[in-house]
Structure 1
């Protein structure tokens, strides 16, 4: 995969304290170069509607967002996607599997920011190439029949692949951001807001309420010009529990408390649990335990639990970014290996199917 689109320099000399400016292609240009066909556009629309149906209780399947913590290698990402597409067919009666295609990564201080920023993994920050590669990969995943999910971190980057996405996450660090709430209010797909890093759900609940309303805000149009954006509001939002500084929040008591708060505020009680991050103590191999604990709550009748999220790659664990990388292993957060992921989801599908038939 290699795109000819590149950034164009606007200035080649700067003072010591002056930023260098490079012009990116517009989102419209990239979409024209890497178009979504009419057939695939209908497929994305159907996947979005399937997610909405789960959120609204019209579809009793479990929504599972699953895939690498971040994508850094196109080959291993597409191999994973192929495996996931085959698994998705096996469990389609009980689950809707959505591929994590995370191409932006928030950093606490500094570090690799994701495929969209630094696709060559060498600090060259070829963002034009990164945006094109990200779009190419998402298109390939959609061609495999998969719905695609990502976390939208930089609002200006969202327009380069927003037409490909069936589900979007707003992360714990950005859920409180007015800019991200405004962006979410204009998105055409369901959005999950993660609870804040303190573990509390108030910030995410406020975000859901804000995103449901229309907004007018500063933005950039598809041709790259500054614009006033008017949004219709997005009612297809939900809460994602990912734990916090005090520990997990996927346990029965935490879920019940949050469920009651959503009902009190007259907000639809639809909760997804992120089995990673603080809920697993940042140990990827503890994700199945979290998953099964939440699944048990659902099997016992808690229908506010509409889905779960897993960080999973071809092979378990993680590795530091270096010149010699192990194939199929995350370079950001540690992941569950695909074999363990597959067994976990097959077992869960069997339990869900047994309950449905019983």
Structure 2
């Protein structure tokens, strides 16, 4: 009797993927890009260490689907970043992969042609090229880590990483985060609870050994050192926001109980704005008011923003796509983005001076006997 097949029963094929080294060779790191990445990471680490009193703002499209429009946005953001750099560090949101609740477009890497052809090798190379161009502008980059393979292809061009609400509880993502070279923001669970994210921060800070790939695409045991720059991202959940003063105070208490630094980033989108982009400025205004009132735990903010407001479905005729309008979650437009960031910048002068003075006093205080 012939042995029955027991594996790959639901697999229709295996398409070879170029190795990370091959993609790096096709789109090599440049000196300009490397300088931006190293400076961006060091700046974010200094903010998390309280050596830099500024706030960072991760701002940009919900997802990149049109590199031309994305670079148009990046150039505008770079100009704004330079104008507010004394109080705010702007980091461009460059998301290429999208988690889906059921089905839908999974992002630029998975389907760069937006037509279900799934040219993933092409998407990976174009994504790397886009990241290199943005960093060559002098703009730090942020993205979400959805799988354990993509970091070997792209993360030398990334300054800040998000782990989403659906994956903060994943052991795979905690292990991967322990080896990433960027600070990592873990979002609270979709129910709004912060314990999942706090456990993720604690886990990612420890060394791990796990399966992954190396630069040549060879399956390897990856041994990480642990990432000391994990922090909490509040994005709301359970049909309620959690950026208010009470929620922030409770998050501070939970972090303190876990003996973690009280570093909190507020996501102005998602459940914190009930997925209504027009409410994002109100969320940001409230958070800036908390900082102005003396809050020291809010170190960053996240905003979903593109050239045009709202979103659009991906049409069969791609020539009918609206330029600079999201094809995933709805965003605020560029004029609104610029206004809310400039308003935050104007409000933060005295509060950040106060933060800086407190840091200097704390650093100068002699250790207790």
**Do both share a fold (TM > 0.5)?**
yes
Which residue is equivalent to 2:294?
301
Q: Which residue of 2 aligns with 1:336?
A: 332
1:16 Cα deviation after fit = 8.0
Over the aligned positions, Cα root-mean-square deviation in angstroms equals: 1.4
Q: Does 1:182 align with 2:143?
A: no
1:148 to 136, 141, 154: 141
Indicate the residue corresponding to 1:345 in structure 2: 341
Extract unaligned runs of 5+ from structure 1.
Answer: 1-14
In the alignment, what sits opposite 1:36?
Answer: 29
Query: Do the aligned partners of 2:111 and 2:120 also contact (CA within 8 Å) in 1?
Result: yes
Q: What is the rounded CA distance, in whole Å, between the counterparts of 1:195 and 1:146 in structure 2?
A: 27
Task: Tell me the residue number matched to 1:255.
Answer: 248
1:285 alignment partner, one of 278, 283, 304: 278
**What is the total number of aligned residue pairs between the two structures?**
345
CA distance in 2 between partners of 1:195 and 1:341 (Å): 25
Q: Deviations over 1:190-245 (max 9, x none)?
A: 00000010100000000000000000111111111110000000001110000002
Deviation of the 1:42 alpha carbon: 2.8
**In structure 2, how many angstroms separate the alpha carbons of the residues matched to 1:153 and 1:354?**
39
Distance 2:32 2:300 in 1: 27
Deviation at 1:38, TM superposition (A): 3.3
1:264 Cα offset (Å): 1.4
Post-superposition Cα deviations, 1:32-86, rounded to whole Å, max 9, x if no partner, equal 1111123431321111000000111110111100000000001100000000000
Say which of 143, 148, 158 aligns to 1:165.
Answer: 158
* Structure 1 residue 23, shift from structure 2 partner: 0.6
Q: Which residue of 1 is the match for residue 202 of structure 2?
A: 209
Normalised by the size of structure 2, how large is the TM-score? 0.91
2: CA distance, partners of 1:347 / 1:305: 17
**Offset, 1:299:** 1.1
Partner of 1:54: 47
- Tell me the SS of whatever aligns to 1:64: strand
Change in CA separation of 1:107 and 1:96 when aligned onto 2, cut-off 3 Å: same
Is contact 2:36–2:139 with CA below 8 Å preserved after alignment?
Answer: no
Cα deviation per residue 1:110-162 (whole Å; 9 max; x = unaligned)?
A: 11000000000000000000001101111110011100100010111121111
With over 3 angstroms needed to count, the CA separation of the structure-2 counterparts of 1:157 and 1:356, relative to structure 1, is closer
1:11 aligned residue: none
Q: 1:43 to 1:18 in 2, by over 3 A?
A: closer
Q: Deviation digits for residues 175-197 of structure 1, max 9, x if unmatched?
A: 00000000000011100000010
Secondary structure of the 1:49 match is: helix
Within 5 Å, which residues of 2 pair with 1:71-150?
Answer: 71-150=64-143
- Aligned equivalents of 2:353 and 2:263: distance in 1? 24
From the superposition, tell whether residues 109 and 79 of structure 1 become closer, same or farther in structure 2 (CA, over 3 Å). same
The separation in 1 between residues aligned to 2:138 and 2:14, in whole angstroms, is 39
Q: Secondary structure at the match of 1:193?
A: strand
Q: Does the 8 Å contact 2:162/2:187 carry over to 1?
A: yes
The residue aligned with 1:326 is: 322
- Cα distance change, pair 39–84 in 1 and its aligned pair in 2 (3 A): closer
Partners of 2:38 and 2:296 lie apart in 1 by 25
| TM-score of the pair, normalised by structure 1 | 0.94
Whichever of the two has the greater Rg, that structure is 2
Bigger mean CA offset, 117-126 vs 321-330:
321-330
Query: Runs of at least 4 residues of structure 1 off by over 3 A?
Result: 15-18, 354-358
Structure 1 segment 256-271 matched on structure 2, within 5 A? 256-271=249-264
**What is the DSSP-based 3-state SS (H/G/I as helix, E as strand, rest coil) of the residue aligned with 1:63?**
strand
Q: Which residue of 1 aligns with 2:220?
A: 227
- Assess if the C-alpha contact under 8 Å between 2:306 and 2:326 holds in 1: yes
Q: Distance in 2 between matches of 1:160 and 1:356?
A: 37
